Structure 1
Amino acid sequence: MDAQLPPSLADWLSAKGHRADHVATLLDLAAKDQAIWDLARTNDRIIITKDRDFAIWASDRRHGPQVVWLRLGNATRRALLAWLAPKWPRIEQSLIEGVHLVEVRA
């Protein structure tokens, strides 16, 4: 998960049984997008992001990780989780089906 999202989202995903880490625990917060992309690709991880760049890379079908692009403006942690919770089953199913870019709109 990228730096634009709160570390608590990784905790929420871990509580749901997923291996989840915030980018700050794996790389420097100032890490370039390419470093995050490469880490996810190398370690078979999914990028959950609000960053359009990752969505563009995924939609260009660059060899790389699956991307979940959260299209939500600034929100508190509580509001983010409340928005995401009902959408999560559909997101999970899309990822299981191998969808390379899962776009989630507000």
Structure 2
Amino acid sequence: MRLIVDQQFPPVLAGWLRGQGLDAWHVVELGLKNRPDFEIWSLAAKYGDAVVTRDADFLNFARQSSGGRLVWFRLPNCANPQLIAAFERLWPEVAKRLEGDEQIIEVRA
């Protein structure tokens, strides 16, 4: 499963996820910079990808359609080092949940 990192997160996060052995792409890398959230979700739903975001708008898309998965991080704004530290701490639980069949994974810091 591919992970699509939304533009509310920096591209460095997609790099960190790839460093964990995951197939992760930032929306900029996919040519989706500044595209509407619905377009990003439609792509994820079409291919069974998971969108990694902090944007609550994706929650509505995930509830209304199948195919894609949502990893919704409820994190405060922070600098990249703090963001990566939070992902290092939280990702093991997310990875376990992604192995299951949850369509919406909400993660609170």
Normalized against structure 1, the TM-score is what? 0.92
Provide the aligned C-alpha RMSD in A: 1.2
Aligned residues between the structures: 105
- For residues 94-105 of structure 1, what are the structure 2 equivalents within 5 Å? 94-105=97-108
The 8 Å contact of residues 6 and 51 in structure 2, kept in 1 or not, is answered as yes
Query: Which moved further from structure 2: 33-42 or 10-19?
Result: 33-42
CA distance in 2, matches of 1:29, 1:105: 26
Q: Pick the structure with more strand per residue.
A: 2
Q: Pick the structure with more helix per residue.
A: 1
Decide which of 13, 18, 21 is 2:22's aligned counterpart. Answer: 18
Q: CA deviation at 1:74?
A: 0.8
- For residues 53-64 of structure 1, what are the structure 2 equivalents within 5 Å? 53-58=57-62, 60-64=63-67
The 8 Å contact of residues 56 and 72 in structure 2, kept in 1 or not, is answered as yes
Q: CA deviation at 1:12?
A: 0.5
CA distance in 2, matches of 1:42, 1:28: 15
Normalized against structure 2, the TM-score is what? 0.89
Structure 2: gaps of 5 or more residues:
none
Query: Could you list the per-position Cα deviations for residues 31-75 of structure 1 after superposition, in whole angstroms to 9, with x for gaps in the alignment?
Result: 0111101111222211000110112322x2521311100101211
- For residues 31-70 of structure 1, what are the structure 2 equivalents within 5 Å? 31-58=35-62, 60-70=63-73
Q: Does 1:5 align with 2:9?
A: yes
Moved beyond 4 Å, runs of 4+: none
CA distance in 1, matches of 2:67, 2:59: 11
The amino acid across from 1:23 in the alignment is V
